[in-house]
Chain A
Amino acid sequence: MRGLAPLFLGLFAIFAFSWLGLTAIPNAQIGHLDPEVNPQDENDMYPLPPSGMAERGRHVYTSNGCMYCHSEWIRADYISADIERKWGERRSAPRDYIFARPVVLGQMRIGPDLSNVGKRAPSEETSAAQPGASPAGSPAAPPAPAKSTSSPAPAGNPPNKSASPPSPNQSPAPPQNAPASSPSPEGLPYSAAWHHQHLYAPRSVNRDSIMPGFKFLYEKRRISGEPSADALKLSGRDTPPEGYEIVPTYDAKCLVAFLMSLDQSHPLTEVKAGAAPAAPAAASPAPSPAAAAPAPEAKK
């Protein structure tokens, strides 16, 4: 080849083609989605913006590299066992992620998928009622105020990373927009307390787990007076010495709030539900571009 100009043009054209095709055009197609509003009930919107704690928890999640082992997307039932494994009720759609930043889809499942890990958490009341499983900040704090309001819990609570004494309004935001349908009662009890224990000492919960413990997100401190309400209930070799307790830091609480906010169980019109029949939804697209739906049929 002679001269630089044709070479340069060719190189640029190839780059531009790839950029347009895989980022610019898809961005025009699915880059400007709005939450879906239920035509029958205007208060039933999905998805909703995350609470402040969940948002901060997302950064704890990425900064500790959770996404290198856990994915956050469910594939359709005809191509995978994701739904049979009860990781979700339907496949994930672009609209599920419109408030997520950064989006951490992940491409490894050294641990299970987390798309719906918040869904199975029983509501705060039930887990508080369970003996021995008192979640962080269970005293008082009815979940109602935090729920689905956009002014989240930490608003009145400056992010004091270390040793913030448990205050009532610091309860991790309960799973938002948890559908009235079913927080599957027979499912695993993924309460905040469960998450904390699992994060602190994974093998105390699942003997075969190869997840690293995140002890640095927890604080060992001397019990002065009453033991903290959010101290971890540990047994075996993880038990702190007499007179000490293990309490989650603010980051740990945010991480758990984030995990508990992960929930894609709300139906979307563009996705055919995997288990529950939602036949009419398949054809009628949402207000925004129809192609937003990765139409399952189109994929063989």
Chain B
Amino acid sequence: MDATELPLKAPERLAAVQASETDIVERALIDASTRIPVLMFYTSAIVWLLLGTLLAWLVSFKAHSPDLLGNVSFLTWGRLRPAHMNIMIYGWASMAAMGTGIWLMARLCRTVLRHPLLIITGAAFWNLGVLVGVGAILVGENTGFQWLEFPPYAGLILFVAYAIIMSWAVLMFRFRRGEQIYITQWYLIGAFLWFPWMYAAAQLMLFVVPVQGVMQSAVAWWYANNLMFLWFGAIALGTAYYMIPKVIGRPVYSYHLATIGFWTYALFSSWTGLQRVVDGPFPAWMITASIAAAILTIIPIVTVGLNHHMTMAGNFQLMRYSPTLRFTVFGAMAYTVFGALGILLSLRSIARFVNFTQVHVAYSHLGLYAFVSMILFGSMYYIVPRLVGREWRYATLIKLHFWAAAYGVGLMTLMLLAGGFAEGSNMEDPTMSFNESTLSILPYLRGRSVAGVLMAAAHFIFAFHFGLMLFGLGRTASVPTFLNPVEAEGSETHL
């Protein structure tokens, strides 16, 4: 048993993860110490998720029915949309990612979480920051920079909250046991350090000592891109590196590939970001550099994808049973699609058609939802039972959640991609009036609203199920909840 309690050597199937008594007690203690903080993050995240879903619905319907609720200032489309985006980014995804990250970190450092009160305070402040920021957007204090719409004072609250939350990491690392730093920890440490750096850099360059002219846009796009890759993406990939081996009871296929994947991921994806302003008012080299970096992200996409695939190879049937595995593998596959699409969309010959269209919306939902959120859902299905000491009550609800979310995000992505290409090619044809491009997107926008209904159903089902767990209404059982009855396979203990 190595320090990270994850099998890093070639396994004799399953033997490697048979835990000894002391290990079981130790894990129970660690889980107990993370119970309140992690549940607080998860609960807040899910409340924000529901709120964000309602707003998303409104945004989607208003996009094709512009007169709906249009006469109230704080319900106008241009305010609801950033409110939705920021709730999903800072309320849902960030909080869920931090919850998962904290739990993983405690487990991998093999140390109990010290000073949970600190994290609880941090989480409370973070919620306050999001609340203030969203309120500010709705009353009309949008700063105008995508994903940085919160006014600086809300940003300051978030930053302070984050500094408080960060301090646990330092503590945890001081008390960590074992020398080995597992790949998941790299991603987590990376994300937890990169986020404050990029957030501070963006806030400073936009609001404290604002840069001139278009540089503001460059900074904002640089930030938004890094938030996607170095914050959400890093935590999601790190989580997948933990959950997949853990559930199927096999080590990561190749640790070398994992190393290469990590460094190339960080290096290349942090340089993409300006390809979405192809031919914009910037020096051409900036955009070209971003396109080159986007093309180079093929390396981490292939290495990470291959690694996950080879780890899974031969165990795909387990997705029939394990909710965690099903969500996580869906997310990991979505990362491959998301990455490949990112490369395609960055090419100048394609970007000229899809810039300014709904394709961007499809792309960010593919990243933030199909990739990041699905992996976070998966981690919640794994972690929450260990925190509350109960198992998920209804396998049917988990299945409904999965299929509604998967079909929802799939339909939405397809609708917006197809619609975006139609819209873009009409827009690039100067003989067509601009109205044509607007009209050509409308049926697809209605399709998206249908997809939104599916996703909203998924979220409400999940929230209900989570609520049952929270109030101690889960099943008391020694076996986890399987999606389908398990025919004796021998791997149940790890599902």
- A residues contacting B by CB (< 8 A) are 1-2, 4, 7-8, 10-12, 14-15, 17-19, 21-23, 26-27, 29-33, 61-69, 71, 73, 75-76, 79-81, 84-85, 91-105, 107-112, 202, 206, 208-216, 291-292, 294-295, 298-300
Q: Which A residues are in CB contact (< 8 Å) with B287?
A: 299
Chain A residues positioned under 8 Å from B144 (CB to CB): 61-62, 67, 102-104
Is B212 an interface residue when CB atoms closer than 8 A count as contact?
Answer: yes
Closest to A58 in B: B144
- When distances are taken between beta carbons in the complex, the residues of chain A under 8 Å from B218 are 22-23, 26-27
CB of B198 within 8 A of chain A? Answer: yes
A72 nearest CB across to chain B (Å): 9
Task: Check if B143 sits within 8 Å of A294, measured CB to CB.
Answer: no
Q: Decide yes or no whether B2 CB sits under 8 A from chain A.
A: no
A294 B67 Cβ-Cβ under 8 A:
no
Chain B residue at smallest Cβ distance from A264: B281
The yes or no answer to B110 lying at the interface (CB within 8 A) is no
A-side binding surface: helix, strand, loop or mixed?
A: loop
- B141's closest neighbor in chain A, by CB? A63
Contact (Cβ within 8 A) B142 A107: no
Known: A65-B81, A107-B277. A294 touches B435 (CB 8 A): no
A91→B213 contact, CB < 8 A = no
Complex Cα gap A33–B211 (Å): 11
Residues in B whose Cβ lies below 8 Å from that of A27: 205, 211, 215, 218
Q: Select one of A18, A26, A33, A73 contacting B226, CB under 8 A.
A: A18
Ordered by A's residue number, 12 sampled pairs between the chains whose C-beta atoms are within 8 Å are: A2-B181, A15-B194, A22-B222, A22-B271, A75-B280, A91-B279, A94-B215, A100-B213, A104-B144, A105-B214, A208-B435, A212-B67
Which of chain B's residues has its CB closest to A98's CB?
B213
B189 CB–A CB distance under 8 Å: yes
Q: Within B14-59, which residues are at the interface with A (CB < 8 Å)? A: none
What residues of B have a CB within 8 angstroms of the CB of A104 in the complex?
A: 144
Nearest CB on B from A248, distance (A): 14
Q: In the complex the two chains form, what is the Cα distance from A84 to B408 in whole Å?
A: 38
Q: Which residues of B contact A95 (CB under 8 A)?
A: 213
Nearest CB in chain B to that of A95: its residue: B213
- Cross-chain contact of B428 among A81, A93, A94 (Cβ < 8 A): A81
Q: Please determine whether A291 and B283 come into contact, CB atoms closer than 8 angstroms.
A: yes
Contact A18 B205, beta carbon cutoff 8 Å: no
Nearest Cβ on chain A to B202's Cβ, whole angstroms: 9
Interface of B is mostly: helix
> Contact between A31 and B357 (Cβ–Cβ < 8 Å)?
no
Q: Which candidate, B243-251, B308-316, B320-328, B348-356, is the interface stretch facing chain A?
A: B348-356
* Smallest CB separation, B220 vs chain A (Å): 9
Within the complex, which residue of B79, B214, B273 is in contact with A22, where a contact is CB–CB below 8 Å?
B273
Q: How far is the CA of A299 from the CA of B286 in the complex (A)?
A: 11
Q: Which A residues are in CB contact (< 8 Å) with B330?
A: none
- CB of A85 within 8 A of CB of B281, answer no
Counting chain A CB atoms within 10 Å of each CB, the highest count among B72, B194, B212 belongs to: B212
Contact at A294–B282, with CB atoms within 8 Å? yes
The reply to whether B82 and A68 form a contact with Cβ atoms under 8 Å apart is yes
Is the beta-carbon distance between B67 and A108 smaller than 8 angstroms? no
Give the nearest-CB partner of B143 in chain A: A102
Report the minimum CB–CB distance from A122 to chain B (whole Å).
21
Smallest CB–CB gap between A23 and chain B, Å?
Answer: 5
Known: A22-B222, A23-B205, A62-B143. A102 touches B289 (CB 8 A): no
Quick one: which of B78, B216, B271 contacts A103, CB cutoff 8 A? B216
Taking a contact as CB atoms under 8 Å apart, the answer to whether A32 and B212 are in contact is yes
Contact A202 B66 (CB under 8 A): yes
Contact status B267-A17, CB under 8 Å: yes
Are A210 and B66 in contact, with the CB atoms below 8 A? yes
Interface residues of B in 419-458 (CB under 8 A from A): 427-430, 434-435, 437-439, 441-442
CA distance A111 to B439 in the complex (A): 11
Check A210–B211 contact: CB distance below 8 A.
no
Q: Which residues of B contact A31 (CB under 8 A)?
A: 211-213, 215
How far, in whole Å, are A63 and B79 apart by their CA atoms in the complex? Answer: 7
User: What residues of B have a CB within 8 angstroms of the CB of A80 in the complex?
Assistant: 279, 352, 428
**In the assembly, what is the distance between CA of A84 and CA of B429, in Å?**
9
Name the distance in Å between A108's Cβ and chain B's nearest Cβ: 6
Known: A17-B267, A68-B78. A101 touches B286 (CB 8 A): no
Do B266 and A109 touch across chains, with their CB atoms under 8 A apart?
A: no
CA distance A15 to B219 in the complex (A): 14
- Complexed CA–CA distance, A25 and B430 (Å): 37
Q: A64-B78, A94-B214, A108-B360 are in contact. Are A19 and B284 (CB under 8 A)?
A: no
* Inter-subunit contact A85/B213 (CB<8 Å): no
Q: Would you call B429 and A81 a contact (CB within 8 A)?
A: yes
Give the residue name and chain of the A residue nearest to B361 (CB): A108
Whether, in the assembled complex, B145 has its beta carbon less than 8 Å from a beta carbon of chain A, the answer is: yes
Distance of A71 Cα from B71 Cα, bound (Å): 24
CA distance A94 to B216 in the complex (A): 11
Residues of A within 8 A of B213 (CB): 30-31, 33, 94-100, 103
**Chain B 476-489 interface 0/1 with A at a Cβ cutoff of 8 Å (1 = within):** 00000000000000
Per-position 1/0 for B251-287, Cβ under 8 A of A: 0000000010001001100110110111111111111
Please, how many angstroms separate the alpha-carbon atoms of A274 and B412 in the complex?
Answer: 38
Q: Which of B186, B211, B278 has the most CB of A within 10 A?
A: B211
Besides A18-B270, A22-B271, A216-B76, 16 more A-B contacts (Cβ < 8 Å) are A14-B266, A15-B197, A22-B222, A22-B289, A26-B286, A30-B214, A64-B73, A71-B356, A79-B352, A80-B279, A92-B281, A104-B144, A109-B437, A212-B67, A212-B78, A294-B279
